[in-house]
Amino acid sequence: AHEVGHVAAKHGLRSIKKSRLIEAFRLLASEAAQRSGSAELAKLVSTYKSILGDITATLIERGYDRKFETEADELAVKFMTRAGYSPTALSDFLAALASSAQASSGKGWFKTHPAPEKRLAKVSAKIKALPQVPAVAKVRTQRFHQYCSRLK
């Protein structure tokens, strides 16, 4: 549901647009410096070109903006509730992540996402604000266990 939230909010497109805009400014500045012939301007553009390249690389390496991650969590709670699933599954998942030793390492997936504890606090508050957390239908639980048994 979290990843569906990213898609629904168009986070991928927004991130690509942002990095393309930065790249476009970098190219424009570079072209302007070459055409003007000014050595000082060329030096200035070269400096900014390097900085903008670093910014673009950082955007790619860091993944989505952390506010996008928070928004995706909020949308996940909304979508799960509307679909008749208990959003507490998301808070259970985040609690498991928070207790993981890898979470404190700040490596891999944890490098690009807010701390699981912070996400858990926000998701839990969002769930508490719901008028009513839906009960999970027995048929869904049975169907889930049926599919899981096929995976063994």
Residue 110 in tokens: 């944890």
d(CA 12, CA 47): 29
Contacts of 122 (CB under 8 A, 6+ apart): 70, 73, 74
- The predicted-structure confidence for 127-146, as pLDDT tens digits, reads as follows 999 887 667 677 777 888 88
- The predicted-structure confidence for 21-55, as pLDDT tens digits, reads as follows 666 666 666 666 666 666 665 666 666 666 656 55
Contacts of 81 (CB under 8 A, 6+ apart): 87, 130, 133, 134
Domains of the chain: which residue ranges? 2-62, 66-151
- The predicted-structure confidence for 66-120, as pLDDT tens digits, reads as follows 788 889 999 999 988 888 788 898 999 999 988 875 656 666 666 767 788 999 9
Identify which of 9-13, 56-60, 78-82, 105-109 has the greatest average pLDDT.
Answer: 78-82
